[in-house]
């Protein structure tokens, strides 16, 4: 499939290409820059769709029509996808082909009903990646990359796709079947939420019982909270600086603003009945002279002052042009107006995108949530016009509109502003360099009030340290899973190792039962022999109550519970421990007079104390309570089997790795590499990942709380002394990933779905998609470090 075929539009279909002549296209190509539903409305601009496709490229693309319907279903406000889908399905149901859109519509309704938190900002990308992971009719990642490359080199090729063709049955079937299968995969809205919850940033739920507040939060307290919270620091640090220069009236009274009575009420002009009686006490000549020279005093009583009857509303532009720093300036300006010390009237705030959405900026958590408001439209003239002409037609409004400076040159925006200049009292424009311009509409004309230039580099130079959550300050160790998507490094210190039914097990010095395997099958022929044969291990049981002396044997009972048998010759003691139920039993063997040369083995559903070529055996039962009996060794197979088992188990003698288990300092050095306990994590060889001695100064240090290390931006590294590091970035676009912590070895990097690096850590049975380590390194580890380095910049 090539570019033209993937973006092809069809006759009597539910979407089409259009050209918005007022909007500049991306890639220098201005035609066919809008995708819409015929007779309904816009879906998204081409530039936005291309950015979405960039994000989806690593996992492949779904059919284009299915993707467009999903994007449309995420819109806020009115949407109509049922009508166009049903029309297209009915139109193309000809002959043996009978298409129905009911299941597709059902799935889109689920998306529509999702909380807006999951459909905005970076969460929207995560949602799309989750929905279309291994999607039906998927375009392979390599093919998708080729199409993107072709598009950016020759964007005019879209003209061929914009020419509508007759849609055969395959076109409508491709889009509808993809949506239908998504409906089966996600039977409820909650199933969608469950699938993406671990990868997104969700707002915390309020407690059901709210205690009555005993103190009133002041505006200064609120601004301080914004500054102390890393996610709102940039907004909060600008507000007081905006206050210092703001010349917008914060509180309006009626024209009768003068106090009643007193000297301030006197004037030298007025009606005779308002003349002061004291003037008549003058002689006639003096009185007439004062009248002629306008020196007579009159009382000018004013009507009592009244509060302004206008309702104040702030509109914040959340379109593509107002992303990034301009959006931060917009929210800081809005809060500065709302929270100004002289402001006493209530103020409503709306985020303008494809529609006007009411938002609340009264708490830091609400500011964090609404900073993620992002609309795929390039400009908001339609939403602004709808706000004045359909939603708020009343005249008693005092509206602030905050937008990017470049939008004032947009003809559509200028037209809407001009038509509603009587109610749009103030216009605030933002710019990426920190410049704010304030305009006021007065008697039909726009007047520039002031310009404020904010020193962003100075104000954002010292971002706050991220506070540890209350539940970690008490010193509690962060919980660790029993296993990870990849294997642990096999420890070099072992108490015992076993071969049971063809599988290898290890009893480690940390009192764990581990399972490992040996293999000559490998996918990377460039790795050393060590990584072709030996592999890591998974944990089967922990905290085993056992002394590290003596001999051990391992087996499973009928319930498939692991039974560990322990023989201590010096104490003449034999014992059994059920590792699943923790049941324990023991017996003293003093009366059996067993020589020291006897070894503990497992054979044929029983444990034995055995000596090669000796006719006497001591049988220990596997099932039930422990018992020991002396039996004759009439089965020569025992000796042969034990010899073979020992030879196989001896292969594990060199499988151990040197594990980094004592974690002290974790940070990022001057080489922009991660440093863990004096070891730098980087690439010593081509397509490799290694820990080696750090020789650079650490410039960013993470804060340690037990086994969790937290950076200033909120990114975390959780350490596991068994030999594993868990990386959790503050960016929701970077999923959790895992790297083993071993010295002088070839490492691996894995997420919950992808794997790259040494085969040593790859599970024997896995669904992980194997990629090159170079891809994994760039996509996850480099992105994790960049997120920390870019914080506060």
pLDDT band at 792 (very low <50, low <70, confident <90, very high): low
In contact, 257 and 265? CB cutoff 8 Å: no
Count of all residues that appear for the chain in the document: 793
645 vs 346: which has the higher pLDDT: 645
To which residue do tokens 């993937």 refer?
Answer: 6
**pLDDT for 497:** 93
Joined together, the tokens standing for residue 461 give 């130079």
Angle at which helices 64-73 and 46-56 cross, to 10°? 110
Q: Choose among 68, 206, 55, 215: nearest CA to 123.
A: 55
Q: How far is CA 292 from the centre of its chain?
A: 80
Q: How far is CA 15 from the centre of its chain?
A: 30
Q: What percent of the chain has pLDDT over 70?
A: 87
Rounded CA-CA distance 721/406 in Å is 54
User: Residue 596: pLDDT above 90?
Assistant: no
For residues 648-667, give the mean pLDDT.
87
Rounded CA-CA distance 335/328 in Å is 11
**pLDDT for 541:** 94
For residues 650-658, give the mean pLDDT.
83
Rounded CA-CA distance 271/406 in Å is 54
In contact, 779 and 727? CB cutoff 8 Å: no
**DSSP strand pairing (769-770 vs 754-757):** parallel
**pLDDT for 214:** 30
Rounded CA-CA distance 64/60 in Å is 12
Nearest 10 degrees: Cα torsion 220, 223, 224, 230: 180
Task: In the chain, count H helices and then E strands.
Answer: 23, 37
**Contacts (Cβ under 8 Å, ≥6 apart) of 325:** 430, 432, 434, 456
pLDDT band at 661 (very low <50, low <70, confident <90, very high): confident
Least confident of 4-13, 612-621, 633-642: 633-642
Rounded CA-CA distance 467/488 in Å is 31
344 vs 171: which has the higher pLDDT: 171
Rounded CA-CA distance 711/699 in Å is 12
DSSP 116: G
To which residue do tokens 């216009």 refer?
Answer: 427
Q: Choose among 272, 764, 286, 339: nearest CA to 535.
A: 764
**pLDDT for 523:** 46
Helix, strand, coil share of the chain (percent; to 5): 35, 25, 45
In contact, 563 and 579? CB cutoff 8 Å: yes
Nearest 10 degrees: Cα torsion 451, 455, 460, 461: -170
In degrees rounded to 5, what are phi and psi of residue 314?
A: -115, 130
How far the first Cα of the chain sits from its last, in Å, is 42
Angle at 155 between CA 153 and CA 160, to 5 degrees: 130
Q: What is the largest CA-CA distance in the chain?
A: 152
**pLDDT for 471:** 41
219-251+307-459 CATH pick, 3.40.50, 1.25.40, 1.20.140, 3.30.1560: 3.40.50
Q: Across all residues in the chain, what is the average pLDDT?
A: 83
For residues 661-676, give the mean pLDDT.
92
- Give 463-505 pLDDT, tens digit per residue: 776 554 444 444 678 889 999 999 999 998 899 999 998 899 9
Q: Choose among 460, 567, 557, 552: nearest CA to 511.
A: 552
Angle at which helices 189-196 and 102-113 cross, to 10°? 60
Joined together, the tokens standing for residue 400 give 């602030």
- Give 258-297 pLDDT, tens digit per residue: 445 555 567 777 777 778 888 888 898 898 888 888 888 8
Residues 238, 240, 246, 251, CA torsion sign: positive
pLDDT band at 303 (very low <50, low <70, confident <90, very high): very low
Rounded CA-CA distance 699/437 in Å is 38
User: Residue 323: pLDDT above 90?
Assistant: no
**pLDDT for 254:** 43
- Give the start-to-end residue ranges of the domains of the chain: 3-199, 219-251+307-459, 263-299, 494-654, 666-789
Least confident of 114-123, 243-252, 606-615, 631-640: 243-252
User: Residue 386: pLDDT above 50?
Assistant: yes
Rounded CA-CA distance 326/20 in Å is 24
Joined together, the tokens standing for residue 304 give 């009592």
**pLDDT for 262:** 56
689 vs 363: which has the higher pLDDT: 689
Rounded CA-CA distance 337/329 in Å is 12
Rounded CA-CA distance 716/466 in Å is 11
Mapping DSSP onto H, E and C, the string for 725-750 reads EEEECCCCCCCCEEEECECCCCCEEE
Rounded CA-CA distance 349/338 in Å is 9
**pLDDT for 688:** 85
**Contacts (Cβ under 8 Å, ≥6 apart) of 733:** 122, 125, 126, 783
- Give 233-269 pLDDT, tens digit per residue: 888 889 888 887 777 766 544 444 444 555 556 777 7
**DSSP strand pairing (311-317 vs 397-404):** parallel
249 vs 203: which has the higher pLDDT: 249
Rounded CA-CA distance 241/474 in Å is 37
450 vs 323: which has the higher pLDDT: 450
In contact, 589 and 605? CB cutoff 8 Å: no
pLDDT band at 599 (very low <50, low <70, confident <90, very high): very high
In degrees rounded to 5, what are phi and psi of residue 361?
A: -125, 35
According to DSSP, the residues that pair with 668 across neighbouring strands are 674, 700
**pLDDT for 779:** 92
Angle at 251 between CA 250 and CA 255, to 5 degrees: 130
CA distances from 771 to 143, 529, 777 (A): 16, 21, 10
**DSSP strand pairing (666-669 vs 698-701):** antiparallel
**pLDDT for 215:** 30
For residues 175-191, give the mean pLDDT.
89
Joined together, the tokens standing for residue 81 give 């996808």
- Give 705-754 pLDDT, tens digit per residue: 889 999 988 899 999 999 999 999 988 778 899 999 998 788 999 999 99
Q: Choose among 564, 589, 597, 524: nearest CA to 770.
A: 524
Rounded CA-CA distance 720/592 in Å is 45
């Amino acid at each position: 499939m090539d570019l033209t075929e993937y973006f092809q539009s069809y006759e009597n279909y539910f979407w089409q290409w259009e050209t918005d002549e007022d909007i500049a296209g991306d890639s220098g190509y201005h035609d066919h820059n809008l995708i819409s539903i015929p007779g309904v409305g816009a879906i998204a601009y081409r530039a936005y769709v291309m950015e979405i496709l960039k994000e989806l490229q690593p996992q492949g693309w779904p059919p284009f029509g299915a993707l467009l319907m999903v994007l449309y279903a995420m819109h806020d406000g009115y949407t109509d996808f049922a009508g166009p889908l049903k029309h297209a399905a009915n139109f193309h149901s000809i002959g043996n082909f009978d298409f129905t859109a009911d299941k597709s519509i059902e799935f889109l309704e689920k998306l529509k009903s999702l909380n807006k938190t999951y459909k905005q900002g970076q969460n929207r990308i995560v949602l799309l990646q989750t929905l279309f992971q291994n999607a039906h009719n998927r375009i392979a990642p390599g093919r998708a990359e080729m199409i993107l490359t072709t598009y950016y080199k020759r964007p005019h090729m879209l003209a061929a796709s914009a020419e509508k063709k007759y849609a055969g049955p395959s076109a409508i079937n491709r889009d509808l079947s993809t949506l239908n299968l998504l409906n089966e995969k996600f039977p409820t809205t909650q199933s969608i939420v469950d699938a993406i919850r671990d990868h997104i940033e969700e707002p915390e739920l309020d407690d059901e019982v709210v205690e009555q507040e005993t103190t009133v939060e002041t505006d200064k307290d609120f601004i301080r909270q914004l500054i102390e919270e890393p996610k709102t620091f940039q907004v909060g640090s600008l507000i007081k600086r905006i206050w210092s220069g703001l010349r917008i009236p914060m509180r309006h009274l009626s024209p009768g603003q003068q106090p009643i009575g007193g000297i301030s009420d006197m004037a030298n002009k007025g009606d005779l009945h308002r003349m002061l009686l004291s003037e008549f006490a003058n002689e006639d000549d003096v009185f007439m002279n004062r009248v002629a020279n306008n020196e007579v005093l009159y009382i000018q009583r004013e009507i009592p002052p009244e509060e302004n009857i206008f309702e104040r509303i702030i509109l914040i532009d959340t379109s593509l042009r107002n992303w990034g720093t301009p959006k931060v300036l917009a929210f800081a300006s809005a809060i500065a107006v709302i929270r100004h010390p002289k402001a006493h009237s209530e103020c409503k705030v709306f985020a303008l995108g494809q529609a006007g959405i009411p938002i609340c900026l009264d708490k830091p958590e609400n500011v964090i949530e609404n900073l993620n408001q992002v609309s795929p439209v390039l400009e908001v003239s339609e939403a602004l016009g709808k706000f004045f002409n359909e939603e708020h037609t009343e005249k008693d409004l005092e509206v602030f509109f905050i937008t990017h400076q470049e939008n004032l040159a947009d003809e559509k925006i200028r037209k809407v502003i001009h038509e509603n200049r009587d109610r749009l009292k103030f216009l605030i424009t933002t710019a990426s360099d920190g410049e704010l311009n304030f305009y006021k509409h007065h008697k039909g004309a726009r007047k520039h009030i002031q310009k404020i230039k904010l020193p962003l580099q100075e104000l954002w130079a010292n971002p706050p340290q991220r506070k540890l959550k209350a539940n970690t300050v008490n010193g509690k160790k962060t919980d660790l899973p029993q296993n990870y998507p990849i294997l642990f490094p096999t420890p070099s210190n072992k108490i015992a190792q076993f071969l049971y039914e063809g599988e290898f097990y290890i009893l480690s010095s940390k009192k764990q039962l581990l399972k490992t395997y040996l293999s000559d099958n490998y996918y990377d022929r460039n790795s050393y022999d060590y990584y072709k044969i030996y592999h890591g291990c998974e944990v089967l049981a922990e905290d085993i109550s056992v002394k590290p002396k003596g001999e051990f044997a391992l087996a499973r009972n009928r319930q498939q519970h692991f039974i560990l048998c322990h023989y201590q010759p010096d104490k003449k003691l034999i014992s059994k421990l059920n590792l699943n139920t923790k049941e324990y039993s023991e017996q003293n063997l003093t009366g059996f007079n067993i020589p020291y040369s006897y070894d503990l083995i497992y054979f044929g559903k029983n444990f034995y104390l055995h000596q090669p070529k000796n006719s006497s055996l001591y049988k220990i039962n596997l099932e039930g309570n422990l018992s020991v009996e002396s039996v004759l060794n009439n089965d020569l197979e025992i000796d042969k089997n034990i010899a073979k088992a020992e030879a196989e188990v001896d292969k594990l003698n060199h499988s151990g790795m040197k594990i980094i288990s004592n974690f002290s300092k974790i940070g990022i050095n001057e080489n922009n590499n991660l440093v863990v306990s004096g070891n730098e994590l980087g690439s010593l060889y081509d397509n490799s990942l290694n820990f080696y001695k750090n020789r650079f100064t650490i410039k960013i240090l993470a804060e340690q709380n037990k086994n969790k290390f937290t950076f200033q931006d909120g990114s975390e590294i959780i350490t596991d002394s068994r030999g594993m590091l868990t990386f959790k970035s503050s960016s929701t676009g970077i999923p959790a990933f895992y790297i083993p912590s071993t010295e002088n070895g070839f490492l691996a990097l894995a997420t919950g779905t992808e794997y790259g690096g040494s085969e040593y850590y790859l599970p024997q049975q896995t669904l992980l998609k194997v990629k090159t380590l170079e891809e994994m390194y760039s996509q996850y580890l480099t992105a994790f470090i960049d997120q920390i380095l870019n914080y506060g910049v």
